[in-house]
Structure 1
């Protein structure tokens, strides 16, 4: 079985899915619940009565355990709803959901980046983002009328003769 995805993040996701299916015995469960130990079209049962036949389950078991997952940049990316992206603001501690009001979502690869430890460590809510210091980019301004944080304002005042 060959599965084609658009990028490495999607390949990792599909690999984890197949590993989980194997680990939890999903195919064995489906086999137990939905198959008969007979071949399709042998006339003993109605072919429409079962989802997977015993011999088909055996064939699929090998393919599911060892799929070939390939990357093709021409494939469409998996799309993720922006509301699935969450983070906790590093300044005020509020947990926010989404990547913007006008956003139509993101790709799975972008989602993985948003949820990375580095992105989470730098996460800012909309309000704090609007108050970030234009000088250092690290601290918040004291109010909406200022564009620089207290430290940057103080250091500029000390430098002026």
Structure 2
């Protein structure tokens, strides 16, 4: 840790934790808890031995702020992967409703998408198709 959030040196890290395509916040900890326990134990041992870690590469760092109402509407000019990840983020839980879209003139909340051929409505995006597997109508126009 240092004076800013998530900017301190890296003492230990691990990637590659297998997660399902659609995970909810309350399910996540079951999947990541064993890795977190191991990392904290390893980091504590290294820190106690005086290891200060390696500085983070600021060129690779990203920041995602809190979701806002503007984030709750799907932008069909985005790449399919970005739209898919937006739907997944709202499935995980953002604290605001969404994501909303207009499909064939109907206003809907998109609940589940896929990047490979499957059931549901196929939507053509700039870089290729996206399949909307699950959506629910909304009574009024979204933000």
Give me the TM-score of the superposition, normalised by structure 1.
0.21
Q: Which is greater in Rg?
A: 1
Which structure has the highest helix share of the two? 1
Which structure has the highest strand share of the two? 2
Give me the TM-score of the superposition, normalised by structure 2.
0.22
